[in-house]
Amino acid sequence: MVGRKTFGQVDRRLRQAFPHNSQEVFGGCSCLLFGDFGQLPPVMDLPLYTTDSRSELSDQGRAAYQTFQLAVVLDQVMRQAGQGPEQVKFRDVLLRLRDAKVTVANWNHLMTRTPTRVQDLSPFSTSLHLIPTVEAVVEYNVAQLQASGQPIATIKAVHTGPNAAKAPADNAGGLEAVICLARTGELPDLPIAVMVSFHSYSGHTFPDGTVPITPLRRSWSSSGGPCSRLQLPLKLAWAVTIHKSQGLTLDKVVIDVGKREFSTGLTFVACSRVHCLQDLLFTPPFPYQRLSSLSNSSRLKDRQEEDQRLLSLQPSTTQYFTSTTI
């Protein structure tokens, strides 16, 4: 999800790139936006539809978004397609999660997918786990690594620049300062490659089905000067955060929705990663109050108002395109 600051940066950069149109939004360039505001909002930024006044850059992004006066609303659900009664019911539950209108009956329907009520858990034995927080994801992944019974290799990145080793992975293009992997033999501090087997990968591999993953270098600037990190682009992923799963379509998934909706859209995004209800497993189970509290979100009203605004733009959008020669 693009936030206001990012949108402001896009607007500012395009005005610089096209100085002859610097007084126009996006430097006079045409721009299309697509997405669903019911998904998770941007991290460390505000959704485009919010009206709060913040930094100059954030307000510039908000102003740029307000210039969009044409909208097409796509209302056919593709991931959970199908007209069978179970599929129709699942789509209804998901839409109610999106709009914070969940009933007790909806909650009961979801709770049929808990470990004590699912007869065969074996399809979920290797499924990805979706967990709300980074801390809980790290804890789960480390526990799984330790449970593998394999020796563990601790691989430290090679750094240049002041305090580069302490920089977060986001500064280094997602590369971690330290990663832990299961090993079968002795490894150098930073291997020239690690052989990895990927599920459902259809590209070229070695005869044993593995792919060599080699270290990458990422550079960035800090207040102390230029920095870099050389590291294997790997991360443990028995579990990922719900934020990280956004945009994925998964065959099966195990979900921990956490104790509260600390980010609007968290539960909706987690539950909508799969094709049907039978592809979900909730552990641990959660009370109805966890879903009834979705309506308490401070951003929900703003988002719903924006949904209505976009819907109201459809007639004028249709008229514009039927009367305009392209």
User: What does the pLDDT read at residue 289?
Assistant: 97
pLDDT value at 280 more than 70: yes
Q: How confident is the model at residue 199 (pLDDT cuts 50, 70, 90)?
A: confident
Q: Are 107 and 291 in contact (CB under 8 A)?
A: yes
Report the pLDDT value the prediction gives residue 298, as an integer from 0 to 100.
81
Cβ contacts of residue 277 below 8 Å, gap of 6+? Answer: 86, 89, 90, 93, 109, 110, 112, 113
| Span 6-27, average pLDDT | 97
pLDDT attached to residue 325: 62
The owner of tokens 């006079």 is: 28
> Would you state the pLDDT for residue 61?
97
What is residue 323's predicted lDDT score, i.e. its pLDDT?
Answer: 86
Per-residue confidence (pLDDT) for residue 326, from 0 to 100: 57
Each domain of the chain, given as residue ranges in start order, spans: 4-74+299-323, 85-132+239-296, 137-231
